[in-house]
A and B are shown apart, each in its own frame.
Chain A
Amino acid sequence: MNQRNPGITKGVDWPLVWIWTILCCIGISCIFATTYRDGDNVFQSFISLKTDYSRELLFFIMGGVIGIFILLTDSKFFTATANISYAIGILLMLLVFPFHSRVKGTESIIRFGNLFQLQPAELCTIFVNLALAKYLSRVETDFYKPRSQLIAAAIALVPAMLSILQHETGLALVYFSFFLVMFREGLSPSVLIVGFSFAALVVATLLLEPNTLALILTCIAIVAVYLLRKQVKRNRGMLFLIVGIWFVCVGVQRFVVPFIFDHVFRPYQVQRIYNAIGKDYIPKNEADALEIEQKSDGKKKDDNYNVKQSKIAIGSGSVFGKGLLKGTQTRYEFVPEQSTDFIFCTVGEGFGFVGSIVFLGIYLLLLMRIVSIAERQRSVFSRCYAYGVASIYFFHIAVNVCMTIGLAPVVGIPLPFMSYGGTSLLTFTILLFILIRLDADRQMVLR
């Protein structure tokens, strides 16, 4: 025990805390930059709680307090309560259905009075992470058994299903990021590869004519057979495998994808996906067109408009940017949702290419730091948990930034520590501080 810093600070990974502080400060200043108007009294509005940035500041302070409490907690508490907290999380998400209030078209938010509102789907990531880590670290779990893998997948995907039911597709996707954890713990890479290939195939299906794609797939199959002709000679099964894969691929692009788009996704979601790959979506029937119109609330600004404005904002930042309070696009409300989902525009416009790279570098540093922390854990629980945190952060960052620069469809996913929103900031903070707490006890073996 350190003499000068007894108690809570022992073993704390300070770089993580610093990164957390820096990111939060950048986040608050970016929200400030988008909502501040010339002539506002800065100090007064910072303490008034009436502006977004002042509330974000409050959440930041709250996050710090909660962080201290977490550091004061015994590490064993988290392993002990992991399963219960998972149950509570699921319960909270179920509570949304009777008690939700409609905010911006989602049905995933519970309101407490005027000031505070809670999005359980967001908060639940913590509990899922804990529960998954708990399950994977059990002595009796043999993760190489398919049954265990299925259970682990179920733990992650149940909240995802609930999120989809709440029309929060973006957050549902977040839960898929736990596959990275499972991959680290021994899930066959083929699952990831198949998943990735499937995604690539879906995108290709949307981009190319069905017949052209079928032709390309056939060509790939023939080339594969030709390249592997020796193995094929030796082993007839190989040929059947290739033909089988080819058959599945064509089936997917011919029947599965159209089926999913017509029957599983809502029309507006299909439109967003089309927008992301740069194609116009023409609704197949009038009912779909009507729904898209309703979704946009009669506003002419569709998602395509958001992405276009966001790209203009970031693109106009050029090499060094225009300066924090000088961005013309982000400051004058050209980019919608700019203090929440499109907060990255402020960075892109204000600080340019150099600033954006430095900013993303901080995130990369955070992720790499978490991965190396994960690798130095003695207990599987801590390691799984750390990978979970890294995966969640990674998914949020990647999808959110890609969305603002037009590489991903518009899904409402916040940028960690940056986007305005109490739940998201506190969720990310709690995730991080639990990690710091666990890391402080890295010599212990937690079960």
Chain B
Amino acid sequence: MPVFNQSRSNIIRLIFAAMFLIIAAQLFNLQIFSSKYKALAYQNALFPKRIYPNRGIIYDRHGKAILNNAILYDLMVTPSQVRNIDTAYFCQIMGIDTAEFRSRILDAKFKNGSFRPTIFEDLLEPDLYAKLEENIWRFSGFNLQERPIRVYPFNAAAHILGYVGEVDSSVLKRSSGYQLGDYVGRTGLEQFYEKQLMGQRGIEFWIKDNKNRLVGHYENKQLDTPAIAGRNLRTYLDVELQQFAEKLLNNKVGAIVAIEPKTGGIIAMASSPDFNPNSLTGPDKQKNYAKLQLDVKSPLFNRAIKGQYPAGSTYKPLGALIALDEGIITPASGYDCRGVYLGCNRPVKCDEKAPGHAANLRLAIAHSCNSFFCNTFRQTLDNPEFHSPRKGLMKWKEYVNAFGLGHRIGVDLPSEDGGNIPDTTVYDKDYNHSWNSCTMVTMGIGQDKMLVTPLQMANAMCIVANKGYFYVPHFVEKIDGEKPDDSVLAKYRLKHEVLTHIPDDVYEVVISGMQDVTEIGTAKSVRIPGINMCAKTGTAENYLVIEHKRTKLKNNAMFVCFAPRENPKIAIAVVVQNAGYGAAWAAPIGSLLVEKYLNDTLSTASAKKAEQIINTDLMPKYFVRLQFIQDSTNAAIRAHRMHDSTYYLKYIQSSSRAALLDTFRRNIQTPQKSAMMKPKANKNIKKTDSVL
């Protein structure tokens, strides 16, 4: 056969080769030239899974874990795998009806699709978990997933330890290390030591398939970063004392701070009313948090570092030290007090009337003579050295600030408050530059514009006990695995020798006076046999604006002390709001704590006294009124917005209204009813009526 057209075989070969070249070119383009496909492939198939390390554990001074980790369980559902299950039985266990069941499954499909597990119910109650665990094999498509949570084994120190919550947008903006849904310390030590407690998050690269299911590890975990557990904190806290302190403040409003003077370590810090820290970790945390938020007694508020109180007589030892150091008085100075100070226009009452109760400094401190300290304060301001009460006041302020009052001390908790020690500008403004030492004479007995926090008072006691130096009060003694250049704790290890220029014998005089307080003075009823306790009681007048009216409330009971005198191991400040005399309510609490701490146990008599205090209800009655105002206002707003007056009705109906306010009418000191409230309530009623 002749082979004409033979050349065409080459054309065909050429066509073949050309096609392959085109394909090769496109492959080059796809695989080598453009990098976007590789990135797209990673996006498609790789899932960087964050591995959360355990948060650090917080221990007390005896090595007991007071904030620990525990595992709770979430019930997860993968909707596509839910087949042929006994829905009725499942619903019975869960306590829901089938309609709810269906809607939740639908929700899950909506959120995450049919093929990925979604939370059906989170943080199961232990008994529900037990029931489900037993039966989970019956319910295909459901499984239990671990969820680490924080637990507080002693149910104590809620304000100190704080809690964790989901990270919010402000934190997300500030630091790059967090993602939506991460947990972060929100208050207390949890927040302050977030960096140390958090540990280091790990990343595992997982391969996912086309339905977003995770199917396996990528590259044999070679690219994974392991998670590093958070570091544990060792604190100075004595959890038993802490629990005892919290118990003593039961049904009272107030705060307790106990510090170890030699180190500045805080042994106990209680604020009342408080809350159960475990209520903010479990299944009902949202509900519980909302409840705490709406309580006018503000249980979330840490009064120990944020509560600002007039110092009252507990300031007097400091005033004495200042005056002694300035050389205005001597230990032998006295004042002839007959129960009232008449040095200024306004008489200042003194509770002690017996003549000679302020014959010298020691006695004046022991009997807490107002006249003596008003006089001393005026002399301090009118110090002939300065020729002007302005300079005298500024010098005095310098001293008081050195005692740690009037500014934030820097405790290792977030959002501490500074209290208030006024300077000349305030008085210039209030009195139009015409004021003298008489204007502010009550500051000498810790009243007037002086405001302190319990923490500051406890710290001031430490300075007195230490005769001039202090360490910034703090909770954390050690961080496990701490590096030497760890700057977090460095500032708490600095000795602040603020007032060591005052000679020791000056301190001794004042300390002797303070010891006399418990021997012969105002707090002699709380003397602990065998312990030389130096203390000072205080009874501070206080006012509150209730319904736009400045109302005088029952006095705040105050107490500060340190013990034992020879080698101070504990310094305490106690405030019980609106309780009455310091000696009657605050002093026993302080003394019980000292006894418990130093002796480890309480004597029978003390135990009985403790029981009595614990059972006493000193909750101020004005809270009832405030709560009513707040709740009814909220209910009115809700009724107006949602067109739903169910909650509001009970505040309108006269019978339940009376019940809600009954206790208030009988106990409030101001008989004046709010002129403000009634028209407002009426207005709201009208509004809701029109809405309905």
Contact = CB atoms under 8 A, between A and B. Distances in A.
B8 A184 contact: yes
Contacts of B24: 357, 360
A163 interface: no
Nearest to A399: B19
B41 A378 contact: no
B23 A398 contact: yes
A360 to B, nearest CB: 6
B215 A360 contact: no
A149 to B, nearest CB: 14
Given A180-B12, A328-B46, A368-B13, A406 B37 contact: no
B23 A316 contact: no
B354 interface: no
Contact of A318 (B8, B22, B31, B208): B31
B356 to A, nearest CB: 94
Nearest to A356: B27
Interface stretch (A99-107, A199-207, A265-273, A307-315): A307-315
A186 interface: yes
Contacts of B15: 180, 394
A47 B17 CA distance: 39
B37 A314 contact: yes
A329 B1 contact: no
A235 B11 CA distance: 31
Contacts of B429: none
B36 A315 contact: yes
A316 B16 contact: no
A309 B31 CA distance: 14
B1 A380 contact: yes
Contacts of A332: 45, 207-210, 215
Contact of B5 (A184, A315, A318): A184
A381 to B, nearest CB: 10
A348 B31 contact: yes
A439 to B, nearest CB: 16
Contacts of A319: 31-32
Which interface class (under 10, 10 to 19, 20 to 34, 35 or more) fits A?
35 or more
Contacts of B216: 38
Given A317-B31, A353-B28, A387-B12, A405 B37 contact: no
Contacts of A371: 9, 12-13, 16
A84 interface: no
A329 B44 contact: yes
Nearest to B9: A375
Contacts of A183: 8, 11-12
A407 B12 contact: no
A162 B413 CA distance: 84
B692 interface: no
B22 A407 contact: yes
A398 B8 CA distance: 20
Given A328-B46, A332-B215, A368-B16, A353 B208 contact: no
A302 interface: no
B23 A394 contact: no
B19 to A, nearest CB: 5
B655 interface: no
Contacts of A329: 41, 44-45
B32 to A, nearest CB: 5
Interface in B212-265: 215-216, 218
Contact of B40 (A185, A316, A317, A402): A316
Interface in A346-391: 348-349, 352-353, 356-357, 360, 363-364, 367-368, 371, 374-375, 378-380, 387, 390
Interface in A404-447: 405-407, 445
B30 interface: yes
B38 A318 contact: yes
A350 to B, nearest CB: 12
A357 B26 CA distance: 11
A314 B210 contact: no
A315 B31 contact: yes
B397 to A, nearest CB: 70
Of B6, B19, B36, which is in contact with the most chain A CB atoms at under 10 Å from its CB?
A: B19
B19 A398 contact: yes
A297 interface: no
B34 interface: yes
Contacts of B89: none
A313 B12 contact: no
Contacts of B431: none
B6 A375 contact: yes
Contacts of B207: 328, 332
Nearest to A407: B26
A375 B90 CA distance: 76
Contacts of A353: 27-28, 31-32
Nearest to B30: A315
A317 to B, nearest CB: 5
B21 to A, nearest CB: 10
Contacts of B9: 184, 371, 374-375
A405 B41 contact: no
Nearest to A316: B41
A280 interface: no
A374 B16 CA distance: 15
Contacts of A374: 9
Contact of B41 (A313, A394, A402): A313
Given A368-B13, A405-B27, A407-B26, A333 B5 contact: no
B137 interface: no
Contacts of B11: 183, 189
A65 to B, nearest CB: 30
Nearest to A445: B1
A36 interface: no
B20 interface: yes
A401 interface: yes
A360 B31 CA distance: 15
B1 A405 contact: no
B211 to A, nearest CB: 8
A364 B37 contact: no
Contact of B31 (A352, A394, A445): A352
A363 B16 CA distance: 10
Contacts of B22: 402, 407
Contacts of B5: 184-186
Interface string B38-54: 10111011100000000
Interface string A280-322: 0000000000000000000000000000010111111111000
B284 to A, nearest CB: 40
A328 B41 contact: yes
B44 A328 contact: yes
A334 interface: yes
A399 B494 CA distance: 79
A184 B16 CA distance: 14
A405 B30 contact: yes
A109 B37 CA distance: 36
Given A329-B44, A332-B210, A371-B12, A314 B27 contact: yes
B634 to A, nearest CB: 47
Interface of B: 1, 3-6, 8-9, 11-13, 15-17, 19-20, 22-24, 26-28, 30-32, 34, 36-38, 40-42, 44-46, 207-211, 215-216, 218
- Ranked 6 nearest A-B pairs via Cβ: A315-B37, A316-B41, A332-B209, A328-B45, A353-B31, A315-B30
Interface of A: 38, 180, 183-186, 189, 309, 311-319, 328-329, 332-334, 348-349, 352-353, 356-357, 360, 363-364, 367-368, 371, 374-375, 378-380, 387, 390, 394, 398, 401-402, 405-407, 445
Given A186-B5, A329-B44, A402-B26, 14 more contacts: A38-B216, A311-B37, A314-B31, A315-B31, A318-B31, A328-B41, A328-B44, A328-B218, A332-B208, A332-B215, A333-B209, A348-B27, A352-B31, A405-B23
19 contacts: A183-B12, A189-B11, A312-B44, A314-B30, A314-B37, A315-B40, A316-B37, A316-B40, A318-B38, A329-B44, A332-B215, A333-B210, A352-B31, A363-B20, A368-B16, A371-B13, A390-B16, A405-B23, A405-B27
